[in-house]
Chain A
Amino acid sequence: MANMLSLRGVDKVFASGAQALGGLDLDVREGEFLSLLGPSGCGKSTALRMIAGLAQPTRGAIEWRAGRPEVGFVFQDAVLMPWATVFDNVWLPLRLAGLSRAQSSSKIEAALELVGLHGFANAYPRELSGGMKMRVSIARALALRPALLLMDEPFAALDEITRQKLNDDLMRLKQELSATVIFVTHSVFESVYLSDRIAVFSSRPGRVAAEIEVSASTPRNDEFRLSPLYAQACKKASDALHAAMGEA
């Protein structure tokens, strides 16, 4: 698989003098599900923000094979506009791209359909549960059918049951949309369950300490969760994480 983008020797030093990233090298392949796994404060979110173009590297470069494609971003919280209905929240990316309500309508309905929120278009965010808000947030990120979906610990604040359901839905969505996904998490189990590949970060300064390949072809379901392959990958990722944290 070709690389979609490559981070080369990326440093990030904040104005406060704190160094978030030091010498980060990372390739992201076209169509893969890549997890960035690491302890909090290791700079994995900063790396994600740079890929989104929301932060600039202090040194080093981000190289895109074919320019930055359409990007969708899902934050740790749902980050919805509380004054707008579900429909209007999902409309936002389309609206900012210059599409009218009528022009966007079918796309919005389709995005809501994808995340299982059909019939909630006129609800306000505060009328929804945490999991449903996150679904709206994902629908918004998918509205423009991005080639690259960036997710910053999106399910960290949700309960285990909701989280598992959303993980399964995410796998299904990725299949349907054939997008590249970069997923930031601090959960070993979540990263192994979801990913084709895991980049384990060490902290202070943040960089990739290890890369772990999980089988790219195996379907992700309950069977996978009970398979030896899953257990092995979890052990590998967990060991790599401990090694990375030991270094720091």
Chain B
Amino acid sequence: MAPLEETPLVAIDAVKVDEKPSNLWIDAWRDARRRPIFWISGLLILLIIVVALLPSVFSPVNPFTEKCDLSLSNGDPTAGHPLGFTKLGCDVYARIIFGTSTSISVGFIVILLTTVLGLLFGAFAGFYGGWIDATLSRVGDIFFSIPYILAAVVIMSVLSQYRSIWTISLAIGLFAWPSTARVLRAEILRVKQSDYITASEALGVSKIKILLRHVLPNSIAPVIAITTISLAAAIVAEATLSFLGVGLGGTIMSWGNDINQAQRDIRVHPQTLIWPSLALSITVFSFILMGEVVRDALDPKARALR
């Protein structure tokens, strides 16, 4: 048997004072920055946002001021118009560049709306439980039971005179929030069991303070993980509605509108359909990739599956 002094108890228990304390967010950042797809999708998203903010830097042609020329209908690419012309003789490239801000704005407004609604419903339902939970969860069930694109089709049909980025975002967001609320509620139910919550209660911290200071910060990670993917879904929803003709009006540049306009000529002139579709797909792909990275980084269990 080894003598007692040989057992390095001190070494086992020693706390490295100099080391920066780690937490979920620091771990997530360490994990994410090691992955090439984080940088690829991050750069793509950055580029897309810059294009959305400053379209005139990327396109010398301004589709809002320059009139379309019908004599160029379905025209091939020429100097200064790299992607050719639409059926109405508009510059395809310029319309794509200036349509970027539409998709991005709708995406961000929708996730703002779904996150606020989802946080309110999910937090109160999960934290307070009882009849509050029962009522809020049933309300969520009702909104969840209508596929949100179908709901948006109805809302946009009724609001046919008021089509704008705001109304379409409202129409999508109003029925997309229950999934956020469900994720948050489930996580709060789990976090509520933790010892530190019991400790706070025992110390007499008020309920609302426990919710805001301890429960929410510790259960927000899965919400953030699905938010990036919801953003991509919102962009697809806007494009789908515009494609169906109940989205944004004709005066607003939107990839969905352009795809809708181009579909009739798919046999003779597929280019005008392919370019906006490509822009849409690359944007959605970037946000989905980023969503994957964020989810993996925030969920240690998902990391193991890689």
Question: Do A and B interact with each other, yes or no?
Answer: no
**B residues neighboring A (CB under 8 Å):** none
